[in-house]
Structure 1
Amino acid sequence: MESQRNILIIALLLVSFLIWQQWTTDSSQPATAQQSTQTTNALANQGDGDFIPQGDQASGEGEVPTEAAAAVANRHLITVTSDMLSLTIDTQGGDVVGTELLEHNDSLDSDDKFVLLTNGADFVNVAQSGLIGRDGPDSNSAGRPIYHTAQQQYVLAEGQDSLTVPMTFTNDNGVVFTKNFTLTRNSHVVNVSYAINNQSSEPVQAQLYGQLKQSIESPHADGGNMLMASAYRGPAYSSSETRYTKYDFKKVKEANLNQTTEGGWVGMLQHYFVSAWIAPKQEQNQLYSSNLNSRGQAAIGFKAPLITVAPGTEQTVSADLWLGPKLQNKMAAAADNLDLTVDYGWLWFIAQPLFKLLHFLQSFAVNWGLAIILTTFVVRGVMYPLTKAQYTSMAKMRMLQPKLKELKERYGSDRQKMSQGMMELYKKEKVNPLGGCLPIVVQMPIFISLYWVLMESVELRHAPFMLWINDLSVRDPYFVLPILMGASMFLIQKMSPTTVTDPMQQKVMQFMPIIFTFFFLWFPAGLTLYWLVSNVVTITQQWYIFRQLEKKGLHGNKAKDKTES
């Protein structure tokens, strides 16, 4: 087998795989979105017509009763700020209708903070929660409760480890419901609890729910390009039956999720970031979804078990809300399997070790670009025995060309005898015809895995390298790295002994560096850096290996002279 033909076939397979992957992504769900907050429109878009589960079933949308109009007029927004989060909360229902991530800018050239939750006119992405059931205030036909707060702004003070914001509502029977939001320093977890103080003469039955509601279509869609797959945006969940499942908008439209599980979580995913309700642990919770077709929105949520609060007693129920980047260690600590939202695809078993290696090297290299270079050295060092076998096999195959030509002349068009003669020749000369392509076959899964590591790891978002490379997660703005990568491929091609005799194949091989350069124009700079450094290492290893082979008479003119003699 001609090794350069193998390279061509494998390269085409890689490109075909990336194109197919992008096509399946685009055809299955909407692309990721970057939203801008529009809190001025929040009150106009958040109303009593929202999807709220009732009892054991999900109800549809409703109209605001006339008697509730005066109460709705009293609703307003409050802000709660910690060192990592800035929340905007609607006092009607106590929903989180806006979230800014204070450690992440919206773009590389902007000082505006990244907006995770928003309730704008053109895009809705909010976290809702409440108490339903017979006596739950969110089951009231007059509309969702209007909570009272002591102030409109709350800020985590210096030296303060946590901040709790109480919101109170008293129903007609004198039952006091206190909804508490607790933010903790250096944490993306918001604890949402309900203290039910039943001073009435009858028991109170209520059921905690939490849901995430989002517009199905986004005006800020970014579908990537032909080779760069867009990241998943949409619902997902985890249960005792399945560790992590994407339940995309298409599935929500086809059938509502309805699953009972111990613990579990539901989330809305997007590129680098996730919002997720973490249901009460060690409780039997119901996970659900709903298609709000008339609004062009979908929801995914959970319902905790129904509780009964006896007269004269108080009881508390709570759940956690993750609002932040996909930080694997912190998400794993917050909830089982929440870290799986960092989706490395079907090659996760290669991508996970690569990320851990990259993260370890960055811990003392500081710069993520240097960490990528060091990772390349490690990977190519581990693969050196295969690389040596590859070039040794190529050299031996080149030596066998005259004998293979003789076989072709001897057997002509008799393919069966030709194949038998080739196998006997390979066996006699101890040559593995597949040896030339094995290292490339091994490297392709590593390349694809690293592609997803660089695509999914929020740590590399806006991570600079040096000079003009200010963000390793996007393409090189001046295309310097792709051009250098193409030049290094051309040099490798010139250094390699060729076994291709067909003129057409030779021309195709000559254009391979140009073709790959074009493809890499759109790849993340970090991935292109990896491939460039890998090529430089290959050139060094190739030069060394061929020098050793020349001494043994297996390469270059010496090998040719020896064969002809």
Structure 2
Amino acid sequence: MNIFQVALIQPLTNGLILFYNLTFQNMGLAIIAFSLFLRFVLNPLTAPYMASMKKIKEVEPLVAKLKLKYKEDKKGLMTAQTELYKQRGINPSAGCLPYILQIVILIALFNVFTQVLSQNGDAISKLNSMLYAPLKFAENVTLNTRFLYMDVRLPDVFNVSGIPFPIPGPILILAGLLQFLSAKMMQPMVKKEEKIAKDTKGGADDMAVAMQSSMIYTFPAMTILFGIKFPSGLALYWLLFSVFQMYQQYKSSGWGGLAPFVKRLGLIQLKP
């Protein structure tokens, strides 16, 4: 085994199987429980990021003024903005590590589902090669990979006669929807930057704003498009990830871009 397998894939595989044994040998429940455990472990690491995002939101009006003041002096703007962040104790890069780690974990989980929990006849042998001694299965064991309507080893899709492409299933659609809602909660920051970008020459701000705005739609679309090919267990994990992401965003910045919609539902009262 290579270092990636030893450091990530093997521990994640053993963790998943441990929760499989603790959740009545149901792989779907194991994925849910294991996802909650991973979020609990990673949550302290995301605290610096959320604190930094909250501070950045608080100084947005000051940053907007700096962009107007230095709209023809990119170097001066960078220096002034860096100094402002330093004075307010803001580290824009804080919390990058846990989010990079989450992507690495997602890649590792993809390997777990595609390589270890395969449908091949030697699935248990491959799985046992990754498991620590106390968790190894007997060779004649069959894993319970059914959860609700799906097999977590297979994509969450439906094939309809007459339609040349697979239709995304409910879990996959919900994961993409929650990704979209989470991105919308961050949209006010994007909207405030758009006017400043238009007033700032050089195109740098316009590019940053365009990238932020496009992420609102590209991430959910990528979730669904990739999910059509990936095991539904990953879609289930990503769904739970999106729920926690929305919760953390709400704690940091409130409803954000979702506030008008939530108001129309009568769930909150917005201040004039």
Q: Normalising by the residue count of structure 1, what TM-score does the alignment of the two structures yield?
A: 0.34
Identity of aligned residues (%): 31
What is the aligned partner in structure 2 of residue 361 from structure 1? 19
| Corresponding residue to 2:49 among 377, 390, 399 | 390
TM-fit CA distance, 1:384 = 1.0
What is the aligned partner in structure 1 of residue 156 from structure 2? 476
The alpha-carbon distance between structure 1 residues 544 and 464, as it changes in their structure 2 partners (threshold 3 A), is same
The alpha-carbon distance between structure 1 residues 459 and 515, as it changes in their structure 2 partners (threshold 3 A), is closer
Contact 1:395 1:497 in 2 (8 A): no
What is the aligned partner in structure 2 of residue 510 from structure 1? 216
TM-fit CA distance, 1:510 = 2.6
Any residues of structure 2 matched to 1:48-67 within 5 Å, and which?
none
What is the aligned partner in structure 1 of residue 204 from structure 2? none
Contact 1:369 1:472 in 2 (8 A): yes
Q: Give SS of 2:189's match.
A: coil
- CA deviation string 1:361-409 (max 9, x = no partner): 1112111111111110111111112333323222221222221222222
Counterpart of 2:182, as a letter, is I
Whole-Å separation in 2 of the counterparts to 1:496 and 1:507: 10
- CA deviation string 1:117-174 (max 9, x = no partner): xxxxxxxxxxxxxxxxxxxxxxxxxxxxxxxxxxxxxxxxxxxxxxxxxxxxxxxxxx
TM-fit CA distance, 1:463 = 4.1
TM-fit CA distance, 1:350 = 1.4
Counterpart of 1:488, as a letter, is L
Counterpart of 1:491, as a letter, is L
1:350 paired to 2:1: no
TM-fit CA distance, 1:545 = 5.0
Whole-Å separation in 2 of the counterparts to 1:345 and 1:369: 28
Higher helix fraction: Structure 1 or Structure 2? 2
State the structure with more CA Rg. 1
What is the aligned partner in structure 2 of residue 466 from structure 1? 147
Contact 1:398 1:498 in 2 (8 A): no
Whole-Å separation in 2 of the counterparts to 1:446 and 1:483: 22
Counterpart of 2:107, as a letter, is I
TM-fit CA distance, 1:345 = 7.5
Counterpart of 1:474, as a letter, is L
Q: Give SS of 1:499's match.
A: helix
What is the aligned partner in structure 1 of residue 134 from structure 2? none
Whole-Å separation in 1 of the counterparts to 2:75 and 2:185: 34
Contact 1:451 1:527 in 2 (8 A): yes
Whole-Å separation in 1 of the counterparts to 2:232 and 2:13: 17
The structure with higher relative contact order (CA 8 Å, sep 6+) is 2
Contact 1:454 1:526 in 2 (8 A): yes
1:521 paired to 2:221: no
Deviates more, 1:444-453 or 1:455-464: 455-464
The alpha-carbon distance between structure 1 residues 418 and 543, as it changes in their structure 2 partners (threshold 3 A), is closer
Counterpart of 2:19, as a letter, is L
The alpha-carbon distance between structure 1 residues 527 and 345, as it changes in their structure 2 partners (threshold 3 A), is farther
- CA deviation string 1:182-224 (max 9, x = no partner): xxxxxxxxxxxxxxxxxxxxxxxxxxxxxxxxxxxxxxxxxxx
1:486 paired to 2:145: no
What is the aligned partner in structure 2 of residue 38 from structure 1? none
The alpha-carbon distance between structure 1 residues 546 and 388, as it changes in their structure 2 partners (threshold 3 A), is farther
Counterpart of 1:477, as a letter, is V
Contact 1:388 1:545 in 2 (8 A): no
Counterpart of 1:509, as a letter, is M
TM-fit CA distance, 1:432 = 0.9
Q: Give SS of 2:240's match.
A: helix
Counterpart of 1:440, as a letter, is Y
TM-fit CA distance, 1:484 = 0.8
Mind listing any 5+ residue stretches in structure 2 that lack a counterpart?
Answer: 124-142, 159-168, 195-208, 255-270
What is the aligned partner in structure 2 of residue 401 from structure 1? 60
Contact 2:20 2:30 in 1 (8 A): yes
Whole-Å separation in 2 of the counterparts to 1:440 and 1:376: 15
Higher strand fraction: Structure 1 or Structure 2? 1
The Cα RMSD (Å) is: 2.6
1:373 paired to 2:32: yes
Whole-Å separation in 1 of the counterparts to 2:117 and 2:15: 16
- CA deviation string 1:308-362 (max 9, x = no partner): xxxxxxxxxxxxxxxxxxxxxxxxxxxxxxxx4xxx7835411111111111111
Q: Normalising by the residue count of structure 2, what TM-score does the alignment of the two structures yield?
A: 0.66
